Structure 1
């Protein structure tokens, strides 16, 4: 009986850890990306998209955030606003280290969706969908933290009463 309980516990633990490693958009939106951009997962890669005036930079790393060389790689960024078809497409070419970069006449709004396609040598092509200026849902996650803080204060007061009774 103990062995089967242990097996159930181990498989449950594995299920939880594999979910934690999935790196959802919510997970990436909750962390600060190394270069201040937006991160997404694309197959075996973590992609970080950084947009500046008329310039786009894509940082490519593996799931352990180690740099992956982009030498010989190609990419494309398709810009879409609302339901319109992609109006702007920018070619991405290898830059320094683990980057693909491109330049063009584009503007990014909170409604802008950028779909990035990359193909590195001897690897399958991958794509990821970015919404660089989409408001992050951080305001909601702060509220529960405040409740915990006030809970901590009342526990402290309770502790004070207990001490007083002593």
Structure 2
């Protein structure tokens, strides 16, 4: 009976381990690049966080443009950025700059940086949430993902 219990426990641990490995592998860069992001940016995972980097669309020339980083957990729940800090190091060709991003809104860091919106954009994001260790994510090559479509009301819905 004791051997049967040990074998049963080992099987449970094996199944749980495989589930954890599958979950982790599902969150690699290729996975994030294959799904639609909530705000039309590119999503990366670092630690327990998902960071979605949203850049200005259609800026062909390097100029000052807005930068927004949305912070969520693995269940896509918005995480408060108040008290946190963030920087984004931008590399495009021979140009390199670091932008300080400030907490904004519920789960955002925002700022402005000089960049062109193209596939040549490379970014290294460092985020320190309040009371937590710093996490880093790399956005290279940057490839914006189409935003998830908004839900449409039923075409024949009757309103009073």
Query: Normalised by the size of structure 1, how large is the TM-score?
Result: 0.70
C-alpha distance after superposition, 1:77-97 (max 9, x if no partner): 111235x5x612111001111
Cα RMSD (Å): 2.3
Alignment of 1:67-82 (within 5 A): 67-81=78-92
Counterpart residue number, 1:97: 106
- Call closer, same or farther: CA 1:35–1:11 in 2, change over 3 Å: same
Whether the 8 Å contact between 2:41 and 2:144 is mirrored in structure 1 is no
Residue 2 of structure 1: how far off its partner (Å): 5.8
Whether the 8 Å contact between 2:99 and 2:111 is mirrored in structure 1 is yes
C-alpha distance after superposition, 1:119-151 (max 9, x if no partner): 122111111001364499xxxxxxxxxxxxxxx
Structure 2: any 5+ residue segments left out of the alignment? Answer: 60-64, 146-160
Residue 27 of structure 1: how far off its partner (Å): 1.6
- The answer on 1:113 being equivalent to 2:98 is no
Residue 5 of structure 1: how far off its partner (Å): 5.4
Counterpart residue number, 1:62: 73
| Structure having the larger proportion of residues in helix | 1
Between structure 1 and structure 2, the one with the greater Rg is 1
Query: CA separation in 2, counterparts of 1:134 and 1:97?
Result: 25
What is the total number of aligned residue pairs between the two structures? 134
Structure 1: any 5+ residue segments left out of the alignment? Answer: 137-166
Helix, strand or coil at the partner of 1:123: coil
Helix, strand or coil at the partner of 1:20: helix
Query: CA separation in 2, counterparts of 1:10 and 1:77?
Result: 42
2:30 aligned to which of 26, 31, 35: 26
Residue 14 of structure 1: how far off its partner (Å): 1.6
Alignment of 1:1-166 (within 5 A): 6-22=8-24, 23-52=27-56, 53=59, 54-81=65-92, 84=94, 87-131=96-140, 133-134=142-143
Structure 1 stretches of 4+ with a deviation exceeding 6 A read none
Residue 7 of structure 1: how far off its partner (Å): 4.1
Query: CA separation in 2, counterparts of 1:33 and 1:51?
Result: 13
